[in-house]
Amino acid sequence: AQKVTQAQTEISVVEKEDVTLDCVYETRDTTYYLFWYKQPPSGELVFLIRRNSFDEQNEISGRYSWNFQKSTSSFNFTITASQVVDSAVYFCALRVGSAGGTSYGKLTFGQGTILTVHP
């Protein structure tokens, strides 16, 4: 079975601070995919990034960056110079790539981290 843990329930920062959201995952599969989604107050989940288990290269996209480390089963997300518009719930999710298993095609979500950025 797969599991995703986001230990930080809520984070509160002041605008322009950097903030890191933690994500730890568990799976026995060697092929898997990790995702981050943002859920603004409107409720719709917005896809941010996908990472494959065989690609540990970190990624930066504007103010966002992701640190994937298989050795610690972590996929952390950092927002640099946070803005009020970054306030949302952020979800980390895991999907295994094994064909034929019951978990094929299923996303396992963490419980989410509520980020509040104050002006």
Partner 1 sequence: DGGITQSPKYLFRKEGQNVTLSCEQNLNHDAMYWYRQDPGQGLRLIYYSQIVNDFQKGDIAEGYSVSREKKESFPLTVTSAQKNPTAFYLCASSIGSLRGREQFFGPGTRLTVL
Per rule CB under 8 A, is residue 94 in the interface with partner 1? no
CA distance readout (Å), 26 to 3, 17, 91: 5, 30, 15
Q: Which residue has the tokens 């995919």?
A: 33
Q: Choose the stretch contacting partner 1; rule: CB under 8 A; options: 11-19, 20-28, 78-86, 91-99.
A: 91-99
User: Is 63 an interacting residue with respect to partner 1 (CB under 8 A)?
Assistant: no
Residue closer to partner 1 (CB basis): 47 or 83: 47
Query: Any residues with CB less than 8 A from the CB of 64 and at least 6 apart, and which?
Result: 48, 49, 77, 78, 79, 80
Nearest approach in angstroms of CB 76 to partner 1 is 17
| Amino acid in position 109 | F
What are 17's two structure tokens? 């601070």
Q: Which of 30, 52, 69, 83 binds partner 1 (CB under 8 A)?
A: 52
Name the DSSP letter for residue 23.
Answer: -
Residue of 73, 74, 80, 109 that binds partner 1 (CB under 8 A): 109
CA distances from 76 to 8, 64, 65, 72 (A): 12, 11, 8, 11
Using rule CB under 8 A, residue 112 touches partner 1: yes
List residues near partner 1 by CB under 8 A: 4, 9, 31, 33, 35, 37, 42-47, 50, 52, 91, 93, 95, 97, 102, 104-107, 109-112
